[in-house]
Amino acid sequence: MFSQCSHNLKMTDNIVKKYNNYCRSSWGRRRSKLIYSQIKSKRKKYHRILDLGCGIGAVTHKFLNGQVEIFAIDRIPGMLNKFKKSISPKLKSKIYFKNKNVSSFLSSYRGEKFDLILCHNILDYIENKSDFLYLLHKVAKKRCVLSVVVMNLYAEIIRKARKGEWIKAIELNRSRRYHSNNFGEDITLYTPNEWLKIFEKTKWNIYKWSGVGIIDETLYKNEQKRSINSELKLSELYPYKEQAILIHFMCSNP
């Protein structure tokens, strides 16, 4: 299961700093905009939102303008502090912050259910993915939308090959083990088809899946000048989504 509180204070501070820099980079800002646009393309209003592993609230921020109640869950206090500081006082009443392991939160939660659940860069770190996805059903309203963002094995292999790291690319293809610099943990990567098979074993229905970000991140340096709408259309097409850095699954609770 996703490890919790396993980092000492210095390591935790380093994780928060790295993740904050990642989210505020051109690629990070573009990533958040694209994910948000993919969610909003369903044209549904969300009133109760659960953000699991919310980090600094890169995507959640964009939902704050509406009539909404948000539960933001993260295991790292520094992430939540960054999130809190970035919100104006008049908006803070819309968010409930919980410093807790996401699985512990799901197991113990007994409140009103949610109509949107954000699970971004979390499922990669969960060992028993089917059990975790089952837990999400317990807190989901009927027709709840689940937004899951995960890494793509294909993209990481190609990125290493492009750098001329042939041996590392071959080893990654063999072992599928990847070290996350942002969180300092080793995880197993999957291909898009393998992720689809994981979801087939659950009650969640995938109604759309898209890619998030092309492989060459240097092209995002001028992201403010680029139209998000063009990439939004492209993100649902092959071969873009099969080779994208991240995969975004949009699911519904029947």
Where do the domains of the chain lie, and which CATH numbers do they carry? Answer: 9-252 (3.40.50.150)
Q: pTM, whole model, 2 decimals? A: 0.92
pLDDT (tens digit per residue) in 85-123: 999 998 999 999 999 999 999 999 999 999 999 999 999
Separate counts of helices (H) and strands (E) for the chain: 10, 9
pLDDT of 156 strictly over 50: yes
Q: Which residues of 122-134 are buried (b: 16+ CB within 10 A; e: fewer)?
A: bbbbbeebeebbe
Angle of the 26-40 helix axis to the 9-24 helix axis, nearest 10: 70
Max CA separation in the chain (angstroms)? 53
> Which residues, 6+ apart, have CB-to-CB distance to 151 below 8 Å?
121, 124, 178, 187, 189, 245, 246, 247
The stretch 167-194 carries a mean pLDDT of: 93
Q: pLDDT at residue 222 above 60? A: no
pLDDT (mean) for 211-234: 72
How do residues 58-76 score in pLDDT, each as one tens digit? 999 999 988 899 999 999 9
For residue 1, what pLDDT is reported?
Answer: 38
pLDDT > 60? residue 148: yes
Q: Identify the band that residue 217 occupies on the pLDDT scale cut at 50, 70 and 90.
A: low
Question: Tell me, what's the pLDDT at 66?
Answer: 81
> Average of pLDDT values for 6-19?
73
DSSP string, 89-121: GGGGGGEEEEES-HHHHHHH--S--EEEEEEES
Q: Edge-to-edge, what's the strand order for the sheet holding 48-52?
A: 95-99, 69-74, 48-52, 114-120, 140-151, 246-252, 205-212
What is the residue-averaged pLDDT of the chain?
Answer: 90
